[in-house]
Structure 1
Amino acid sequence: MLIRAAVPQGHHPWLPPPIAPALAVVQKVPPAAISCRLGTPQLRSLKTSNGLCKARRRVRYDEEEDEEEDTEEHGQNSEMSLMEAYSEAVRDVALVVRATVDGEEETVLIFKGFSSCLSSRTAYDPSKSVLPARAVIECIDVVRGPFDPSNVEYLEKGLTWEAFKTRLQSNNR
């Protein structure tokens, strides 16, 4: 559908010059091209008279509706915060944490103050803890950073949370 607006006869400098109706090109845009991401071949091939067709992008997350429920259930994990602070202070090591959440084993990598879940999806929100408060930490491996999964150099392996916690307390003194 083409919408025509009434343009006054006098030209205003802030408006582009009017286009003669014979020179105007109207191109139908297929619905698939509108919903696709920018930069795909379909969208790149759509040309208008003044350049590339522009589209607005909106990031969509699968679990937007469940976010409010998930934050109440998820909770902030203070143990993860302590380990992130430790890895930020000791920058040449990475921590591989194995924990259990509701009977499922989770593996988390912590390096330079940031944590990422290796066994499942990491939340997009960095203020949200990777492991929920109800997680039980099984063991912690200290590896040389930066972490290279093809060549893991273990400095310490199989530390319990209690042993690692005493290390944190002795470093704070």
Structure 2
Amino acid sequence: MAETHTKMAYTILTSPMLPFIPKAMNSLKTDRFAIVAAVKALKLRNYQRASHVSCASRRRIRYEQDDDEDEGENEYNEEIAILEVYSQSAREEALIVHALVDEQQVEVLIFKGFSSCLSYETSPDPSKSVIPRRAVINSIDRIKGPFDPSNIQYIEKGLQWESFKARLAST
């Protein structure tokens, strides 16, 4: 007994950005409902596209022409990155980091995942580290955020980097 199968191919041509709206609509109320449904579908489709994008607290992009100009000056500083991630979770506090760069005392303010150097100009490019990798963190001051230089309220002052790192590891 032989069966015959008919192969049929269907092609639906719709715009990738606009959802399908049926043409046979009888009333104005149905038209409004279809438009609202189409807009919701469009928003959902855009949301699904955006949900696949992952974000980080700081961008780390290497530019080939910049590597030649200032070799080692803007190297990725993992310790500052750790403190930036910590400050994202501790939203009500800021950190003042006291570090030593080439035998020069440097202060860095870290608040809500972003860092800024208080001792010299901070690069406007977020892919460049605030202080170089060779910097040595001496101590950290935990202060009540947001930072107000005229009225600094200390939570903890002079915390050693090793003890602060041990706290982070325990949590």
Displacement of 1:157: 0.4
SS at match of 2:70: helix
User: Which residue of the partner structure matches residue 99 of structure 1?
Assistant: 99
TM-score normalised over the length of structure 1: 0.59
After TM superposition, the structure 1 = structure 2 runs for residues 7-86 of structure 1, keeping only pairs within 5 Å, are 68-86=68-86
CA displacement, residues 43-90 of structure 1 (integer Å, 9 cap, x when unaligned): xxxxxxxxxxxxxxxxxxxxxx87633254431000000000000011
Code of the residue aligned with 1:169 in structure 2: it is A
Deviation at 1:124, TM superposition (A): 1.3
TM-score (norm 2): 0.59
Q: Which amino acid aligns with 1:155?
A: I
**Whose helix proportion is higher, 1 or 2?**
2
CA RMSD of aligned residues (A): 1.5
Shift in Å at residue 162 of structure 1?
0.2
**Identity over the aligned pairs, expressed in percent?**
57
Amino acid at match of 1:84: E
Structure 2 alignment gaps of length 5 or more: 1-64
Deviations 1:122-141 (A, max 9, x none): 01111111010000001100
Deviations, residues 129-162 of structure 1 (Å, cap 9, x unaligned):
1010000001100000001100000000001110
Matched with 1:165 is 165
2:111 partner letter: F
The residue identity in structure 1 corresponding to 2:114 is F
Name the amino acid aligned to 1:127: S
More contact order relative to length (CA 8 Å, sep ≥ 6): 2
Q: 1:119 aligns to what?
A: 119
Equivalent-residue separation in structure 1 for 2:97 and 2:86 (angstroms): 13
Is residue 2:128 matched to residue 1:139? Answer: no
1:88 aligned to 2:91? Answer: no
